[in-house]
Chain A
Amino acid sequence: MRQPVLEIRNLDVGYGLGDVALRAVRDVSLTLHRGEVLGLAGESGSGKSTLAYGVTRLLPPPGVITGGEVVYHPENGSPYDVLALGDRELRAFRWAETAIVFQGAMNSLNPVHRISVQLTDVIAAHQPDLSARARAERAREMLRLVGIAADRMDAYPHQLSGGMRQRVMIGMALALQPQIVIMDEPTTALDVVMQRQILRQLVALRERLGFSVIFITHDLSLLVEFADRIAIMYGGRIVEEAPASALYRDALHPYTAGLLGSFPALRGPRRDLTGIPGSPPDLTSMPTGCSFHPRCPKAFEPCPVTIPPLGSPDTPGGSTRTVACLLHPATNPEVR
């Protein structure tokens, strides 16, 4: 069976403390398996980045983790809770096991150094025993992987386009050969040809090196094609999680259906685009019951009252997926 590599259990993350706290991630449970690409999608502000940074404890202040655990399963060795690590072990965990491409990371390149230098420095820090020549070779290889011509290696960040800088960041993350790669909107600045090329490289590399990927994006159509499983977030919670193809063919949560329906179609007749009516919930005063009910086209009597638990629906193939919607009562709601 597929082995878990990272298990997120009942994670709560907020910004600020006490009365003014904003609960950005609420009781999230999610498992990343070895060698898997897990997609995370949802509207802006739904808590995707907060979840990713919570998991690696890289939350900017005033972000605080208020509950839950994040269990990491090393390749050799026994599982441990990342949230319980001391500073030194935490640094070691981040350093050796994870690589993150932050949202907007294209600005985190150092403006005063050539990208070739930044890339080889990072590789050197991780693998001090590599020769200078091998480092340069690895750097060139990574840049080729993300489609940057060798004659631009010596450019400074400001001499590169937005998408080129984004690609350098992806190359840098992959150069570290981590166990878990977290990518937060890594391809927002890329055209589809490039996107596809990089994703294909990522999938191939994953097969060769066996790492796992959490891929955060608002582009659900990209995930449907390229992720193994997809989790959908709304108002800080996971509202649906399923194998990519099942989610696309048969979205159970009305919010997922809304997300899928709001893409402009490139092929076929021009549809009228409605999007999802209404606006995302105010995290400081969430609607009662199902937090999606004010915007839900299928809401019925219990929705404003009862919080739907996340659990497997009673449908064929239901055991491979979970959903939090009263239309699909869970057979095994997770205990809260």
Chain B
Amino acid sequence: MTPSTSAVAPVSEVVLDAAGLTKHFPVRRRLRDLLSRHAGAVHAVDDVNLTLRRGQVVALVGESGSGKSTVARLLAQLHPRTGGEIRLNGEAVTVRGGRRFRAYAKRVQMIFQDPFASLNPVHSVRYHLTRSLRIHGRAGEGKDGLDQALTALLSQVQLTPAERYIDKFPHELSGGQRQRVAIARALGAGPEVLLADEPVSMLDVSIRLGVLNLLRDLKDRLDLAILYITHDIASARYFADETLVMYAGRLVEGGDSETVTQRPAHPYTQLLIDSAPDPDRVAGAVAAEVADRGDGEPPSLIRPPEGCRFHPRCPHAMARCTTDLPIPLPVGDRDGHWAACWLYGEPSAEGVAP
């Protein structure tokens, strides 16, 4: 267990938790690789621990390709895992398809990153939503009941008046409108856990706010546990109780959202916060900016760097960072704020510690 589970927010009931979650995707070797010795797998997720509680939002932020979607897909049991355990209401579960999978999916719903791929182009909005309501037994009584349920779903995602959208096909909707249909479809199952993979990144700010407020409202009213995956760390500050930061397949920092965003401890999180668009840095500044810190390429996940995976880009890297994998260490400013970074360890040989 990482320190993240201790006293971050008022303790409420754990719905879904994962320990040691690991996923390696094997890569088929090409001829020229046969001579090399490395195992040949993408280390997409390594040793991730996280806990989702009723009525709380946990944000998972991090670099593109760092494994966020893979974590969500593992939690949704869409991938078999390489290692680790997933517990739903305290009970370890592993399901592979079939009826048990449907029962699991009714309770744990996923909103996919990409509404362009997740809606079927040959079916109307009505079809998508009706199907979700039917599968999960929430279609109401008769035609009137169904119509009411459909109208309610659409108004929940602010596609009003419902008549304007209900018989539209995905290609007739703008990108933002499509994503709201995808969200409505997930809500149609009436889930306990919502795994929302970038649910608002395609939406413009004003609608984004509306959808986040909607999710927050649903969380309060239905006591939903929400995993909110995003690359928009500012929205994590506003929306999530707890924020976890991922880099190259590993969690590197966690704590309550305000602390993580205002006092980032891990050098990667600091880079992330410093890179957020800042309108006060006006046009042209990007080109003029010469020596940005922590620049450089994301690491290979087939041969991830030894020690701390961030060390090749880290401005504070010490000798130890290149060999020893940092463990989650308390930062010491707030309860439950931790970072997997040797800057927060006991002074090492070089004696570099804050």
Contact = CB atoms under 8 A, between A and B. Distances in A.
B282 A197 contact: no
Nearest to B295: A197
Given A44-B203, A264-B235, A164 B65 contact: yes
Interface string A155-176: 1000111111011000000000
A161 B206 contact: no
Nearest to B233: A266
B277 A221 contact: yes
B114 A244 contact: no
A220 interface: yes
A266 B25 contact: no
A203 B27 CA distance: 35
Contacts of A275: 205-206, 209-210
Interface string A281-323: 0100000000000000000000000000000000000000000
B222 interface: no
A43 B286 CA distance: 25
A319 B275 CA distance: 33
Contacts of B62: 191
Contacts of B160: 279
A262 B205 contact: yes
A196 to B, nearest CB: 5
Interface in B158-185: 158, 160, 164, 171-172, 174-177
A258 to B, nearest CB: 7
Nearest to A243: B283
A220 B205 CA distance: 9
Nearest to B161: A282
Interface stretch (A73-81, A102-110, A121-129): A102-110
**Highest count of chain B CB atoms <10 Å: which of A188, A194, A259:** A188
A161 B114 CA distance: 11
Contact of A162 (B69, B164, B205): B69
Contact of B303 (A42, A151, A207, A222): A151
Contacts of B298: 147, 149, 194
Interface string B175-202: 1110000000000000000000010011
Contacts of B289: 200
B317 interface: no
Contacts of B76: none
A218 B177 CA distance: 13
**Highest count of chain B CB atoms <10 Å: which of A103, A195, A244, A275:** A275
Given A43-B206, A185-B175, A192 B233 contact: yes
Contacts of A226: 277, 283, 286
**Highest count of chain B CB atoms <10 Å: which of A144, A189, A221:** A189
B297 interface: yes
Given A151-B303, A219-B277, A245 B283 contact: yes
B272 interface: yes
A266 B64 CA distance: 19
B125 to A, nearest CB: 15
Interface in B261-283: 261, 271-273, 275-279, 281-283
Contacts of B204: 41-44, 218, 259
Nearest to A167: B64
Contacts of A42: 204
B114 A104 contact: yes
Contacts of A200: 286-287, 289, 292
A120 B26 CA distance: 25
A4 B177 CA distance: 34
A224 B209 contact: no
Nearest to B160: A279
A142 B282 CA distance: 27
A244 B206 contact: no
A270 B297 contact: no
B202 A266 contact: no
Given A185-B202, A219-B205, A144 B297 contact: yes
Contact of A262 (B164, B171, B209, B277): B209
Contacts of A270: 237-238, 258
B116 A264 contact: no
B231 A192 contact: yes
A276 B275 CA distance: 26
A270 B259 CA distance: 13
B238 to A, nearest CB: 4
Nearest to B179: A44
A112 interface: no
Given A224-B277, A224-B282, A188 B202 contact: yes
**Highest count of chain B CB atoms <10 Å: which of A151, A190, A192, A199:** A192
Given A151-B303, A244-B282, A266-B276, A189 B235 contact: no
Contacts of B285: 225
B176 A191 contact: no
A147 B297 contact: yes
Contact of B205 (A160, A259, A282): A259
B14 interface: no
Contacts of A273: 209, 238
10 contacts: A45-B174, A151-B300, A161-B70, A162-B64, A185-B175, A188-B202, A197-B295, A200-B286, A219-B277, A224-B279
Given A104-B117, A151-B300, 18 more contacts: A42-B204, A107-B114, A107-B116, A147-B298, A160-B65, A161-B69, A188-B202, A189-B201, A192-B277, A193-B275, A196-B292, A219-B205, A221-B279, A259-B205, A263-B234, A266-B273, A273-B238, A276-B206
